[in-house]
Amino acid sequence: MMRSFLDIASLSHDDLISLLDLTHQFKQGKSLSMTGQVASLFYENSTRTRVSFELAAIKLGLTPILIDIEHSSEAKGETVKDTIQTLHAMGIDSFVMRHKSEGLIHDLNEKLEGVRFVNAGDGKHSHPTQTLLDLYTMQQQLSDFSQAKVVVVGDIVHSRVANSLVCGLVKLGVGELVFCAPDYFLPEKVNGAMIEPDLKIALKDADVVMGLRVQKERFSPTFDASLDEYICSYQLSSDTLSYAKPDAVVMHPGPMNREVEITSELADSQRSLIWQQVKNGVYARMAVLSSLTR
């Protein structure tokens, strides 16, 4: 049990295993009758994370409260902290939040005792529930993380998904973890991953290939890269996946830029676990919401 769920780094190995087990139990039909409300505060756009948290809350017996940020008092200058305190004063004590400001949710979690937070993505820093659903989806595919090779391909430098995923895979003792991207999409620190810029070499013997979205909205004004060159060297397709193991699978956190980082023919093929990831997201978020201390 935990008050808040902010990042994968704060979880012990056993906590992570317990959350994966709980995700599996919910997928197998475990039910709970919880009471209370969970407010969703999405200061950045979302489809799957927001809706899967709402569905997870409903399935657990909780009441989801969707705050329409665009029409909220944020537009009149209210701070995020005041918005949360306002909602807390009305009796809401659990908040699922996505915000572009890295670490803001950690600050609020420290300052607002008695409030439970779930991080639904903070800037480029962390997206821990995405990692939980990604690890669970991989676990269904792999017999043993320690024997597996996972390759992450794409815009890693702007990716909170990659940051959290590396942390989770290292905690689970993944056999081999490779980042494959051009220089301009690689972070300064890779924390446990190896770098291989050549896609065909990187994919050799891969069990799981995680494609990442090219996040144009996070490019700095001085960022200069050719999308055509990127597509030519790094696009995931059935052709490029043929360099991986014969039974390798492809994943993508979504939303996808079809025909940019991944072709439609691969995304919609039998080798794609993309819709499994989305489905498992509801169970992973049930696991997280039901583990917050009540």
Decide if residue 130 touches ligand CP (CB under 6 A).
yes
Report the nearest approach of ligand CP to the CB of residue 274 (Å).
10
The CB-nearest residue to ligand CP is: 49
Q: Which of 103, 175, 182, 254 binds ligand CP (CB under 6 A)?
A: 254
Distance CA 172, CA 195 (A): 20
Measured from the CB atom, is 128 or 253 closer to ligand CP?
253
Decide if residue 47 touches ligand CP (CB under 6 A).
yes
Cis, peptide link before residue 255, omega less than 30° from 0: yes
Report the nearest approach of ligand CP to the CB of residue 174 (Å).
21
Measured from the CB atom, is 54 or 243 closer to ligand CP?
54
Q: Which of 61, 173, 192, 255 binds ligand CP (CB under 6 A)?
A: 255
Say which residues have a Cβ less than 8 Å from residue 256's Cβ, sequence separation at least 6. 211, 213, 262, 267, 274
Measured from the CB atom, is 243 or 267 closer to ligand CP?
267
Report the nearest approach of ligand CP to the CB of residue 135 (Å).
14
Q: Which of 24, 27, 30, 48 binds ligand CP (CB under 6 A)?
A: 48
Neighbouring-strand partners of residue 64: 38
Measured from the CB atom, is 47 or 226 closer to ligand CP?
47
Which residues in this chain contact ligand CP in the complex, by CB under 6 A? 46-49, 121, 130, 253-255
